[in-house]
Structure 1
Amino acid sequence: MTSASGTGTATGRPAWLLPTLVGYRRRWLGKDVTAGLSAGAVVVPQAMAYATVANLPVEIGLYTCIVPMVVYALLGGSRAMSVSTTSTIATLTATTLVSAGVAAGADDAGDVLGSLAALTLLVGVVLLAARLLRLGSLVENISNATVLGLKIGVGATVAVGQLPKLLGETVNVSGEGFFRGLGAVAQAWDSISGVTVALSIGSILAIVLLKAFAPRVPGALLVVVAGILIVALTSAREAGLELIDPVPSGLPVPQLPDLTHLGALVPGALAIAVMVFMETAAVAKGIRKPTEPMIDSDAELLAASAANLAGGLFGAMPAAGGFSQSAVNQGAGARSQLSALVTVALAVAVALFLGPVLSLLPQATLAAVVFVAVVGLIQIPTLVQWARISPTDFWIASAVAAVGLTAGLLAAVGLGVVLTLVLVLRELNIPRLDGVVRRGGALAVHLGRGLYTANALENERAIVALATTQEEPIDTLVLDVERLDLVTMTVLGALEELDRDLAGHGVELHLARLPDSAVEVAGKVSWYQGMAAAGRVHDSVEDALAAAAGREPT
């Protein structure tokens, strides 16, 4: 229970620490343990697989299951969300490193870890800045069409990037983009390994069939175990089956960031930060039960920032809320972030004791896990459906996807943000004049939304048009501005110009119900002072209409 002061709980714990334990019941502990183990069976192999998407050692995926997840469990407000890396974040990480000129090949993976730490820390810093500026709601306004386009671009790019590992080829196309990846695969067609292809097809079929007919069974974990057993018990390795690099046993240790490529990493960090918060907020709200507290966007920004800052200090990849493992966590009965701490304990056990065993894991097995996960992002049927329902959304999603497949995912995220701002500004730009009341020679108009820089001119034009196109001329226009909580010099300038334009048509402007916060600013401007002195500012619309009626000729 939260204390009356709002700064702590009945147990003496600060309110911001472990918020999901507020009102916790002991009988929930068993469900949290079960849920944490179930989620771990999904998140641990997935995180290792997603590390390979960025062409990083698989233990980096394990570290991302430990440090960021612990920090989110301490600060996050979603009871069932599981925070590690995702296919989108892993792909953007790979693209950012390649674009920055950071080598990401398997032979020099150690050289990239310093730049990875710098990138993850940058993501945390960007998220922290967004929190300080209270931009949570702005990021959440990125349209569904933009998100769909990004998913298609990510899904296709990552799927192509896994083809070499699924086919047993030696070419590396991590972070190279969709068409480059296809071209590289075609050129290396002669290096295909039959045993690798057989394992890849079997792994993909196993995951797909288990998901369709036994969704509670952790298909990714089973194929990982099967892949290790095949290597341990057969001569598949001698037949050409490639394994992942040796996995060292141990926990993550502090990692100093390499600032050599810092400037080149900034654009990617911005894009990753946007996607981290979008995914985290979407998952948190999507899995929230009606009986659970509402998700605070700014609090989630802070939790995501802290998770990435801590992760960067320990060599983890950028982290976000993942839908698949969060859905498993919730479906298994998770009641709080204690379930995430159980998942962390499982990841720690794997990191400490199973390194030699994981070193027997075939590359094709992890590639199959990633391939199945990302193919589900290529939602072409949804795109076709939107073409019939909303052509605007269809073209936005198609444009973002096309840019992602051609110019790269960083450019696609940038385009998505720009399109979102354009759509928001376009919506704000549409005047909403309602509650129109005619009384004698006076016309009262309610301003349906606040005035902003983006819509001030359009509203001014609409109001003048309304006032000058009445069947019977008016001499007074009462503007109900109760929604004008915040005014700027641009807005005040627009109102002053509206006053002049109406006066030019023989119409006198009156303002009604201007909020106190707006009066405090407007009262310092000579134009508004003149309005008030002339009795053209009123506490209510009725007062304004009565004042207008008192001037009408009898």
Structure 2
Amino acid sequence: MNQLGSDPQARNPGTPQRGSVRSLLIPEWLDSYRPDWLRGDVVAGLTAAAVVIPKALAYATIAGLPVQVGLYTVLVPMVIYAVLGTSRPLSVSTTTTLAILAGSALGQISPDGDATTLLAGSATLALMVGAILIVAGLLRLGFVANFISEPVLVGFKAGIGVVIVLDQLPKLLGTHIDKGGFLHNLVATVQSIPHASLPTAAVGVFMILLLVGMKRFTPRLPAPLIAVALGILGMSLLGLESFGVSAVGVVPIGLPAPTLPVASLVETLWPSAMGIALMSFTETIAAGRAFARSDEPAPQPNRELLATGVANIGGAFLGAMVAGGGTTQTAVNRLAGARSQLAALITAALALGTCLLLAPLIGLMPNATLAAVVIVYSVGLIEPAEFREILSVRRTEFAWAVVAMIGVMLLGTLQGIVVAIIVSLLALAYQLSDPPVHVLARKPGTNVYRPQATGNADDEQFDGLLLLRPEGRVFFANAERIAEKIRPLIEAATPRVVVLDLRSVFDLEYTALKMLTSAEQRMSEKGISLWLVGMSPSVWDMVIKAPLGHTLGEARMFLNLELAVEHYQRNRR
């Protein structure tokens, strides 16, 4: 018997998972926490808070809600996610896109902007979004996140970096533009330069130079915190506001009051809740993956759905708006030194302190200082070296990265993520539809069979024997393409025997098997014998149960190429 069948290898049970009750009470990241991470987490948490809190206040106003709702969104969902989530640097509150979508949804239920109705609607919307995310997690729909390839992720990050920088430039210049698409914002920003406030621009440029200089010459010092402190001191001691330098503004003091969703709003809000849930998850997992380090666990998409869902539900009852992972704040958190979810807890603690004590100080921060911090850290998302590395390996994947970057810039974050997924799927389809087929020869003096190459001219070939090795999954979408590659090879070699080495084929689909059966019949009519070699257990089972298996029999199926070649040479004598 030339081909040996074998049972599939038993699965390794692996390390037992922690009990679910303990994982809810004690965050898993505490098990591996190292004392040397503490400084980085503290600095990152404080730095991220300096960015997250003012932006969250602004996002609340975008959604048409009172500014303190943004503060509560930093406090509640961030704590819940830090306990349940799997991404170490992810900073969860709200984002520009979520705020815009929430504002559109809430505008349907309260066109006149009644605060009570808006707060009830926001609670209902957050509860629905959380429930949708939890159901998606229980249904294990997190696999959607696996459709974003690494080159596409590089492009996504770069596009986000460009968008963030452009978004912050008007604040840096002290100008105001009517926001629109990327090209509109770019043109409007350029046109606004003659109207820039020189004192505001001076503050912004000074802060950028300070941040870049400290990052270059004193990397151990918390540059963003120093910049924020100097900005607040400048506003309070130098009276910068009298020169037209705008500040974040008044931040109310107090803890969030319980809020209750309203069932009658569900019918109106559910379509928006579906879109916001998709946006929340895609932004969350994209940001989590984009900033994951190679030496730490990768985010678990299904767990991320559950964690973000619970964070939204918890926030719904404590005055928060819809929440998700933010790319900007996660970038700041990671680049400022975050090593674990403790950084997020420190950010939330500062939000709590702001609620109780620090609101007046945060309100004094110049918008130009905030813009400078965001710009300096967001520029790090644009990594030309990664693009060059991708280009040096494969031009096609470089094109995917560029398409993803342009998609985010021109279409927006959500549409950009959709473009990234589509590009990744098209790339996968392209790769699967055109698998390689190698002509093999034997390295002299060994039993190593390798693809023919110009540097291997001395490799042994065998008269009347053609050795071919296709790679990957062989199925209906690529079977004909593989056949198109094999036909000219057979015509050129005029062999008596064609050996297909299938050790690199992990699956042989039914349509492809039928086509292989037809090909064997045509070769047989021309006096050419087909042999199969190196089949995996699953491919062996497919072939042996099909008519092809009965036609070939064990005499034409082999465990490896060496046995097939020996059998061929022995029978030629």
Instruction: State the AA in 1 paired with 2:220.
Output: R
2:481 & 2:384 partners in 1: Cα distance? 37
2:388 and 2:567 map into 1 onto residues whose CA distance is 57
1:221 and 2:225 aligned: yes
Matching of residue 310 in structure 1 with residue 310 in structure 2:
yes
Distance (whole Å) between structure 1 residues aligned to residue 336 and residue 308 of structure 2:
23
Q: Per-residue deviation at 1:44?
A: 0.8
Q: For the Cα contact (< 8 Å) 1:228–1:362, is it kept in 2? A: yes
Within a 5 Å distance, the mapping from 1:121-140 to structure 2 comes to 121=130, 124=133, 128=137, 131-132=140-141, 134=143, 137-139=146-148
Match of 1:276 among 284, 297, 309: 284
- Of 207, 210, 214 in structure 2, the residue corresponding to residue 206 of structure 1 is 210
Q: How does 1:155-554 map to 2 (within 5 A)?
A: 155-173=161-179, 176-185=180-189, 192-233=196-237, 235-237=239-241, 239-248=243-252, 249-250=254-255, 256=261, 260=268, 262-263=270-271, 270=278, 273-286=281-294, 288=295, 295=297, 297=298, 300-313=300-313, 314=315, 315-319=321-325, 322-329=330-337, 337-338=341-342, 340-379=344-383, 392=396, 395-428=399-432, 429-433=434-438, 435-436=440-441, 441-470=464-493, 473-521=494-542, 525=546, 527-528=547-548, 530-531=550-551, 536-541=556-561, 544=564
Matched residue of 1:46: which SS?
Answer: helix
Pick which of 207-216 and 447-456 moved more.
Answer: 447-456
Closer, same or farther: CA 481–425 of 1 in aligned 2, 3 Å:
same
What's the offset of the Cα at 1:39? 1.6
| Structure 1 Cα separation of the partners of residues 514 and 521 of structure 2 | 11
Partner-residue secondary structure (3-state), 1:211:
helix
User: How far apart are residue 43 of structure 1 and its match?
Assistant: 1.4
Measured in 1, the distance between the counterparts of 2:352 and 2:141 equals: 33
Instruction: State the alpha-carbon separation in 2 of the partners of residues 340 and 82 from structure 1.
Output: 8
**Deviation string, structure 1 residues 456-504 (Cα, Å, up to 9, x no partner):** 332232233333321xx32332323234443433333343343344335
Alignment of 1:9-24 (within 5 A): 13=22, 18-22=27-31
Match of 1:34 among 30, 39, 47: 39
User: In 1, distance between residues paired with 2:26 and 2:513?
Assistant: 44
Q: Distance in 2 between matches of 1:412 and 1:379?
A: 18
Question: Separation in 2 of the partners of 1:453 and 1:253?
Answer: 57
Q: CA deviation at 1:443?
A: 3.5
User: What CA deviation, in whole Å up to 9, does each residue of 1:173-209 have, x standing for no partner?
Assistant: 2xx2222224444676787545433433333333233
Deviation for aligned residue 1:223: 2.9
Structure 2 segments unaligned to the other structure (5+ residues): 1-12, 316-320, 443-460
Equivalent residue letter for 1:309: G
SS at match of 2:374: helix
Task: Return the offset for 1:341.
Answer: 4.0
- Look up the SS of the partner of 2:137 in the other structure: helix
> Separation in 2 of the partners of 1:381 and 1:227?
33
Residue of structure 2 equivalent to 1:46 = 51
List gaps (5 residues or longer) in structure 1: 289-293
> 1 CA distance for matches of 2:275 and 2:522?
45
User: Given the superposition, is the C-alpha separation of residues 483 and 400 from structure 1 closer, same or farther in structure 2, using an over 3 Å criterion?
Assistant: closer
Q: Supply the distance in 1 between the matched residues of 2:389 and 2:566 (Cα, whole angstroms).
A: 54
**Amino-acid identity (%):** 25
Contact 1:43 1:325 in 2 (8 A): yes
Q: 2:455 corresponds to which residue? A: none
Which secondary structure does the structure 1 equivalent of 2:507 belong to?
coil
Seen in structure 2, the aligned counterparts of structure 1 residues 67 and 316 have a Cα distance that, compared at 3 Å, is farther
In structure 1, how many angstroms separate the alpha carbons of the residues matched to 2:292 and 2:351? Answer: 22
What are the Cα deviations for residues 422-450 of structure 1, in whole angstroms up to 9, with x where unaligned? 32333332314364565564444343333
What is the CA distance between 1:301 and its match in structure 2?
A: 1.5
Q: Give 1:280 deviation, angstroms.
A: 1.7
Equivalent pair of 1:69/1:307 in contact (CA under 8 Å): no
| SS of the residue 2:495 aligns to | coil
SS, match of residue 349 in structure 1: helix
User: How does the TM-score come out when normalised to structure 2?
Assistant: 0.73
**Counterparts of 1:375 and 1:23 in 2: how far apart (Å)?**
31
CA contact (8 A) 1:149 1:400 kept: yes
State the match for 2:454 in structure 1: none
Q: Distance in 1 between matches of 2:114 and 2:518?
A: 62
C-alpha distance in 2 between matches for 1:16 and 1:454? 49
Are residues 66 and 467 of structure 1, via their aligned partners in 2, closer, same or farther at CA, if it must alter by over 3 Å?
Answer: farther
Secondary structure at 1:477 match in 2: strand
Q: What does the per-residue CA deviation read over 1:27-55, in whole Å, with 9 as the maximum and x for residues that have no partner?
A: x45x4543332121221112235537854
- What is the RMSD of the two structures over their aligned residues, measured on CA atoms? 4.5
How far apart, CA to CA, are the structure 2 residues paired with 1:45 and 1:446? 58
Change (3 A) 1:132 1:531: farther
CA distance in 2, matches of 1:239, 1:15: 51
Deviations 1:143-187 (A, max 9, x none): 42x3444344333333332233333345442xx222222444467
Give 1:83 deviation, angstroms.
Answer: 1.7
Amino acid at match of 1:311: A
Paired amino acid for 2:49? V
Residue type of the partner of 1:412?
G
The letter for the 2-side match of 1:514 is M
- Give the distance between the partners of 2:29 and 2:232, measured in 1 at CA: 37
Deviations 1:270-304 (A, max 9, x none): 56644532432343234x2xxxxx63x5x622342
SS in 1 for 2:293: helix
2:288 is matched by which residue type in structure 1? Answer: T
Figure out how many residues of one structure are paired with residues of the other and give that number: 519
> Which is worse superposed, 309-318 or 69-78?
69-78
Please give the TM-score of this superposition, normalised by the length of structure 1: 0.75
Whole-Å Cα distance in 2 between the matches of residues 116 and 213 of structure 1?
Answer: 47
The equivalent of 2:160 in structure 1 is 154
- CA-to-aligned-CA distance 1:284-336 (integer Å, 9 cap, x gap): 234x2xxxxx63x5x62234223321332213531168344234435xxx5x6
Shift of 1:84: 0.5
Deviation at 1:6, TM superposition (A): 0.9
**Which amino acid in the other structure matches residue 337 of structure 2?**
N
Q: Distance in 2 between matches of 1:513 and 1:390?
A: 30
Alpha carbons of structure 1 residues 461 and 188: separation in structure 2 relative to 1, 3 Å: closer
Is the contact made by 2:499 and 2:533 (CA closer than 8 Å) also made in structure 1? yes
SS of residue paired to 1:285: coil
Question: Are the aligned partners of 2:495 and 2:528 in contact in 1 as well (CA < 8 Å)?
Answer: yes
Post-superposition shift, 1:383? 5.7
Change (3 A) 1:46 1:119: farther
Q: Is the 8 A contact 2:47 2:225 kept in 1?
A: yes
Q: Deviations over 1:404-438 (max 9, x none)?
A: 44444444333332222232333332314364565
